[in-house]
Each structure stands twice: as C-alpha cells, then as structure tokens.
Chain A
Amino acid sequence: MASAELATVQEHGRAALERLGLPTRRQEAWRLTDLKRLEALARLPLSSAVGSSALPPAAAGVLRLVLDGQSDPLDGVALPDGMSVLSTAELEQVLGHTLDRCGCAGSWPVELNHASARQVLALRVRGVTHPLELVFTGSAGLTATRVLLLVEEKASLDLLQVLQSDVASAHSHVLEVHLGQEAQFRHGLLATADGQPSLMALLAVEQEPRSRYAFTSVVQGWNLARVEPRVVQVDGQATTELKGLAVSQADQQLATHTAVRFDGPEGELDQLQKCLAGGRSHAIFNGAIQVPRDAQRTNAAQLSRNLLLSERARVDTKPELEIVADDVRCAHGATVSQLQEDELFYLQSRGIAAADAAALLLRGACQEVIEHLPAAAEAWGPLERVMTGLSQ
C-alpha cells in the first residue's frame, strides 16, 4: 500500500499524537522510561534518506526484503510460491485488526507509527514457504516501517527481522500478524545498534487455536529501545513461546514490555526474558499475562533472569499476572544477580583465566536465547554483535 491510501491513517495518527501528547511518568507503562530521550525521538524530522550498510549474503533459500521506509520493498522481487501481496481492499479490511485485539490500538508507539509510516508491507502466506528476512538499516531522522502478515490455516513461516543502525536516528516499527488455526510461525528479531539510535517496536500477534508462535528477540546497543511483543490467543488452545535477550551498556535504556492474553481455555505460554546490564545502563522488563475467566486450564510459565555486570547498572523486572480463571497453572520467577562465583571458579579450575571465564559465561548466557533465533540469523553473527556490545 503506498502513500495515497495511507493518507487517512497518517492524518488520524497525527491527530492522535497531538491529543495524547508525550507519555508521562504517571502512566504505569512509561513510569521508568527516560522521557527526555523519548521527547528527542518524537522531535526528529521524518527521514528522507535511505540507510545504507553492507549486508551479509542472505542464507540459501531465504527471501530477503529491505525495508527502508521510503521505497517499495517488493520492487523487482518475485515472491515465492505460497506468498502473495494483499490487495488494497483486503488490507483496508484487516489493517489494525490485530492491534485492536491485542489492546494496543491508540497507544503512543502505534500512533507514532501511524503518523509517520509511508507504506505497509502486507503479505499472505499459504502452505510452507521460503523463510523471510526483513532488514531495516537506520538513516538520520525518524523512519517508520509497518508490516502485516496473514499466515493462513496450517501454513508455516520463518521470519527474521533485522533492525540495525549506527547513526543518530530513530526507528518506529509496527508488525501485525494473524495466525490461522494450526499455523506455525517462528519469528526472530535481531535489533542491534551502536549506542546512539532509538527504537520503538511493537509486534502484535493474534493466534487462532492450535497455532504455534515462537518469538525470539535479541536487542542490544540502542540509546533508548522499547520492544513490545503483544500476543493474544483468541480462543486459547494455542502455544506461545517468548524468548528475549536485552544487552545494555554505557547509559543505554532497553525496555521489553510483553503482554500475553488468553481469550480461551488450554493455552500455553513458555517465556524466558534475560537482561545483561553493564555500565550505567538500565534494563526494564515488564511481563503481563492475562488469564480471564474463560481461560481455564491455561499453562503459563514466565522466567526473568538478569545479570548485573557493573555496580552502576540497573535492572527493573516486573511480572504482571492477572488471573481470574481458577483452574490454571501460572509459574513466574525473577532473579537478579552478578556472575556466579561458583561458575567462574569451575572454569578457572579448568585452566581458564578469570577474564576468559567471565566472557565464556556471558557468551553462554546470551547463547541460551540466541540459539532460538530462526536459522537465517546465523548469517548476521548475532552472538558476535551482542558480545561487541559487552566489550565496549
């Protein structure tokens, strides 16, 4: 969908931003956010340039699309069997539907995206198709990208999103995905930066029964990042797996706000969020799980594990469980610690120097999440990207 059809959406978005104003600390969801940085982000002019960066060759069989917020990512691309573009009429019908279902329509990050996005990449996926890779490279100013995917009944898709930037810039991204019954969606987000840029990414996923959604996010190096995976199991009976890693250094603030809602019985969630915070950085995790009355026999587990790598780093972690149904299993836990003396000693007692032992443990801590990224991620050297962040 190009500029003309999005004009109304943009107008609404701009009006909404005016009305909403900037988020404030009085709003629970923004209580810990560095609002000065948010304000700076909101003031950036819309980018008119296209970010450039040498990209590694895509893995064999992977369809790579480059989203720059300006040009049509499908220009000159032949879509593989099983993947097609939504018509304007179809798009008008479905755009925003998943955001609504996930309860994030009208939120500030969404309106920011509406006000700024010049295009929507909207694809339908049938059957088993090639893995998809969506790449964004930042350029000066604010760039907004928006993607919508309809993964039909019994279809299967692997998606890797790479967001990267090494210039003072901001990126607003909104993704909507609808998973039909028995659909399988493996989704990776590799978002790395060099410390200057900001990122607002909202990823809304709607799951029909017996669908499976496995999401892995790896976030590192943004001045300010807010990554919000929002999942709703519309009739329960689906499987959701969320794995997250945030690695912050210097004075970065990286926030992950996840929300999973079970609008039906027998849903499953397995969630692991890890934060490694060094320097004077601040890592935030907020994990909401909503189990309304109808969501009997839900089985959910959430674990938040955090490593403080310096005395001045800070971690805020908060599970938010709203459980109304009475026949459910919901486990949650959070730990904040430094590298364990016993683990370091074990490695040292095998001849590994203290500094190398610490590096090995950090690699391991990251690898535990990174190994769940879709296979296409290997071409991007995710572990090296994250470890570069740690050795700064």
Chain B
Amino acid sequence: MIRPDAELLLDINDLHASVEDQPILKGVNLQVRAGEIHAVMGRNGSGKSTLSKVLAGHPAYRVTAGSVRYRGSDLFELEPEERARLGVFLGFQYPVEIPGVSNLEFLRVAANARRSKQGLEELDTFDFEDHVQEKLQVVQMDPAFLERSVNEGFSGGEKKRNEILQMALLDPVVAILDETDSGLDIDALRIVAGGVNQLATPENATLLITHYQRLLDEITPDYVHVMAAGRILRTGGRDLALELEKTGYDWVDKELVAQGVA
C-alpha cells in the first residue's frame, strides 16, 4: 500500500559495503515507507543478500560509505540486537541450527527482548506458551517443533516457517526476508507467503529479497527493484517482475555495459 505521507521507515543513501575488503554494495539508494512491500530482485552476486545482512548488522560486512536512517536515527550506531529490539527483522536465507538450545526457550528470550523495548510485559514460560500457540497458526506449524533444538534437523521448509514464526512473535517494523522462498515447494511457499501477508499492516513494511518471481505471485509488492553490480539498476511496479520472468536478466548486462559498469 503506497501512501506518500506514510512514515519513512528506512532511508538508504548511497550505501557502500565490503566483505573481506571486497566491495559488494556500490551505492544503494532506497526508501521504504510504512505500509509498503518492496521486492529486491537480482541474480546471484548482485548484492541483494549483502544488503539484508548489512541492514541487520552482520559483523563480517563493513560499511564503507553512505548512510541508513531507520525511523530517523542512524542505523549503524546500533548493535544488531538493538536493531532487532527496535523492530528490524531479518529472515535468514540459511537459518542457523543451534543444538542443545530449545526452540521454545529461544523464541521466548527473543520475544521478551523485543517486548520490553515495546513497553509490553515480558512473558513467563506459561504465558509465552499460550502466546506462541496462537502465532503457530500463522505458519501452520506443528507445536512439536517448539520442543526441539533451534532449527536442528528441521527441513528447509520447516526452517523457513520457523523464521516466519519468529517474525510473528517479534512484530517487526521493517521485515527483511532474505530468499525466504528458496528451497520451498509450492505448498510450503504458499504457507510462508500466507504468513507474511497476514503480518503486513499499514504500520510496517516488508523487504522481500528474492531471485524468482514465483514468490511475487503470492505476495503482491508495491515496488520491484532490480539489483546488479551492487546497485539498484531499475525500479518499477509489479510489472517489472513479470517482465523479468519473461526476458530474464540478460538486459541487465546490456544496461551495465551501457552505463560503463561492466
């Protein structure tokens, strides 16, 4: 939902970032307002996953220039955990397995960290169990997964559902979903997409990082951005994704050559 007067949640300006001294992002500009759903598409290596990790604060990525303001304040002044508590959520492409840590306990600690920042009451074990049961329905997840270790032995689809469950519990302001559709069959994709749709409100925003158009059959974006060589090459509406589906990314190379980048 595009409302020009909605709150500017994320304001990315000329963002440059490197990993191991290798420049990946080379001047990203993007503005995300409340109520909007953005899709960031691009080939492997275009920098779209790096963008998501830089926004969440992964220590392996170094910001070399530019700025990101989150609801008016400098995002890079905040530790990753502080960003999360303030409502920045990253859904991982490859959620990490943590043997020995119960999923339920992990979810409770995470949810309480966010709740205390929101001025909500922290939930004890019993209250949290009720709370989480309700959220499980968002992704039609079997409660048995709460008793297991975090992501350990989960299938690809189960891991992604667990990510969306965390999103439901953390009630983010800006959710960045990094290739949440990868490795999902069509049924799992529909469940995950259904979860994301249920959680989208006029107050929050979603950034979908994806390689394929098929996720966008389930979640309708307000904007589609195509990334290449560490920048956003083109921005359009939903039609841009459909066009990409037809033409592929070949035109990207031509445009990069035309711009003297490649």
Contact = CB atoms under 8 A, between A and B. Distances in A.
Contacts of A366: 100
Interface in B57-113: 57-60, 79-81, 83-85, 89-90, 92, 95-96, 98-101, 106, 109-110, 113
A354 B84 CA distance: 12
B170 interface: yes
A268 to B, nearest CB: 21
B166 interface: yes
A368 interface: yes
Contact of B110 (A341, A350, A363, A365): A350
B81 A367 contact: no
A349 B177 CA distance: 13
B81 A348 contact: yes
A353 B82 CA distance: 8
A103 B161 CA distance: 52
Given A351-B85, A353-B81, A346 B96 contact: yes
Q: Which of A340, A345, A363, A368 is packed against the most chain B CB atoms within 10 Å?
A: A345
A342 interface: yes
B79 A354 contact: yes
Contacts of B95: 346
B220 interface: no
Interface string A323-366: 00000000000000000111101111111111011001101111
Given A351-B85, A351-B110, A343 B100 contact: no
A349 B57 contact: yes
Given A346-B92, A349-B57, A354-B79, A364 B101 contact: yes
B100 A345 contact: no
B56 interface: yes
B166 A350 contact: yes
Q: Which of A340, A351, A360 is packed against the most chain B CB atoms within 10 Å?
A: A351
B101 A345 contact: no
A361 B105 CA distance: 12
Interface of B: 56-60, 79-81, 83-85, 89-90, 92, 95-96, 98-101, 106, 109-110, 113-114, 117, 149, 166, 170
21 contacts: A340-B96, A345-B57, A345-B58, A345-B80, A347-B98, A348-B57, A349-B56, A349-B84, A349-B90, A350-B84, A350-B166, A351-B84, A351-B114, A352-B109, A352-B113, A353-B79, A356-B109, A360-B101, A360-B106, A364-B98, A364-B149
Interface of A: 340-343, 345-354, 356-357, 360-361, 363-368, 371
